[in-house]
Amino acid sequence: MEKNYGPLNPGKRMLMGPGPSDMHPRVYQALITPLVGHLDPYFIQVMDETKELLRYVFQTRNEFTLPVSGTGSAGMETCVCNLIEPGDTVLICVGGYFGDRMAQMVERHGGRLVRLENEWGRPFTADQVNKALKENAAKVVGIVHAETSTGVLQPLEDIGRVVHGHDALFLVDTVASLGGVSIPVDEWGIDACYTGSQKCLSCPPGLAPITLNDRAVERIVNRKTPVGSWYLDMSMVKNYWGGSRVYHHTAPVTMIYALREALVLMHEEGLENGFARHALNYRAFRAGIDAMGLKFFVEEAYRAPMINPVLAPDGIDEAKARAHLLKGYGIEVGGGLGALRGKAWRVGLMGQSSQKDHVLLFLGALEEALLAQGFRTAGSGTAAAAAVYAG
């Protein structure tokens, strides 16, 4: 018998998890733009515009700015494997799931790993990093800006100064944060930084924009050993993205079309307006959660506006409520990772998903999902959020 596979049709979704986030119709449109070759003059122009737009979003003048082929983790691995050589001491700040991933990569690429560990939900201080660097002369210090597993937004400026004071390179994961809050890469002294296409940039998953300053590039140029990964070796990839344009691997042309369009949208909105939108929707969301009597995992002062774990009340089955949101409303939120597994919902307000309609529908739907399990919220989340929007 012939099997009939039928058309793809996932149904309507509101993507409010830790990524991917919703895409703008113009990004969907970009995905059906006619394909050209990866060395076509038209595509070279698209690459140049993409680099220029990435510099705008990273707030940098770094010549070395390009999207790595692969998801956010490929951006992480690119930075790790290019900046460290076997035997190098590397300090990684581990305050959640993604900091731990970076630490694992350092070990796999032969680095002498020093783990600076923090309890989940707490940011690192410059003093902590300073102390760790006094004890260990690290060549690179890696940290996550918005730790998606915990919802902490890590202050970076003071730590950057400490790292440079010890003559180390400052490597920052901005996968969840870039585009949602201001990250002036040059001003904050970030030497190497990577992100992912599917979070606040609102593209499909599959690209990892990175930016490296001259200090970081110099480190790569002066390596004594070749980079352990052929595919992610930036000393070769950079020749395709600039200069000689020699073939390295076939660029994911269609994905780069989509990224360019998403970045054009951000340019049209204006970075500052985008940050203000993320901040407003977070404030409305927070007012709603507070009014419902629910609790955030992270202390107010350190919350990332684009990703927030909300603790499930006692007696509530968080997975069941999540399934209820998906089935009843097409709303996707994340479950807890690691220490928060089974205990929290991770609610994303990233990029195109940071919208008033998303916030209001989510709060109303959560109220109903909780009621379905016999839990009555302390007050109306939607009324409190609406009051924020009304000013």
Ligand X SMILES: *Cc1c(COP(=O)(O)O)cnc(C)c1O
Establish if 98 lies at the interface with ligand X (CB under 6 A): yes
| Nearest distance from C-beta of residue 105 to ligand X, angstroms | 11
Establish if 72 lies at the interface with ligand X (CB under 6 A): yes
**In contact, 267 and 56? CB cutoff 8 Å:** yes
Establish if 154 lies at the interface with ligand X (CB under 6 A): no
Distance CA 166, CA 185 (A): 19
Distance CA 354, CA 174 (A): 17
Name the one range near ligand X by CB under 6 A: 72-80, 113-121, 214-222, 346-354. Answer: 72-80
Question: Three-state SS for 182?
Answer: coil
Question: Three-state SS for 119?
Answer: coil
Establish if 111 lies at the interface with ligand X (CB under 6 A): no
Q: Of 211 and 377, which has the nearer Cβ to ligand X?
A: 211
| Nearest distance from C-beta of residue 180 to ligand X, angstroms | 11
For residue 308, give the nearest of 316, 299, 317 by alpha carbon: 299
Q: Mask: binding to ligand X, 173-212, rule CB under 6 A, as x and -?
A: x-xx-------------------x--------x-------
Establish if 281 lies at the interface with ligand X (CB under 6 A): no
Establish if 71 lies at the interface with ligand X (CB under 6 A): yes
| Nearest distance from C-beta of residue 77 to ligand X, angstroms | 9
| Nearest distance from C-beta of residue 28 to ligand X, angstroms | 19
| Nearest distance from C-beta of residue 342 to ligand X, angstroms | 20
Name the one range near ligand X by CB under 6 A: 154-162, 172-180, 342-350, 359-367. Answer: 172-180
For residue 174, the number of C-alpha atoms closer than 13 Å in the C-beta half-sphere is: 28
| Nearest distance from C-beta of residue 210 to ligand X, angstroms | 12
Distance CA 126, CA 375 (A): 42
Q: In what order do the strands lie in the sheet with 295-296?
A: 295-296, 307-311, 344-348, 334-335
Establish if 19 lies at the interface with ligand X (CB under 6 A): yes
Establish if 105 lies at the interface with ligand X (CB under 6 A): no
Name the one range near ligand X by CB under 6 A: 170-178, 286-294, 346-354, 381-389. Answer: 170-178
Angle, vertex CA 105, rays to CA 101 and CA 111, nearest 5: 135
Contacts 24+ apart (CB under 8 A), 48-55: 49/260, 50/256, 50/259, 50/260, 50/263, 51/241, 51/242, 53/260, 53/263, 53/264, 53/266, 53/267, 54/209, 54/211, 54/263, 55/211
**In contact, 288 and 359? CB cutoff 8 Å:** yes
Distance CA 347, CA 16 (A): 6
Name the one range near ligand X by CB under 6 A: 171-179, 277-285, 291-299, 344-352. Answer: 171-179
Distance CA 336, CA 319 (A): 9
Establish if 148 lies at the interface with ligand X (CB under 6 A): yes
- Kindly determine how many residues on this chain lie close enough to bind ligand X according to the rule CB under 6 A: 15
Q: Of 99 and 160, which has the nearer Cβ to ligand X?
A: 99
Distance CA 372, CA 324 (A): 9
Residue nearest to ligand X (CB): 72
**Site residues, ligand X (CB under 6 A):** 18-19, 71-73, 76, 98, 144, 146, 148, 173, 175-176, 196, 205
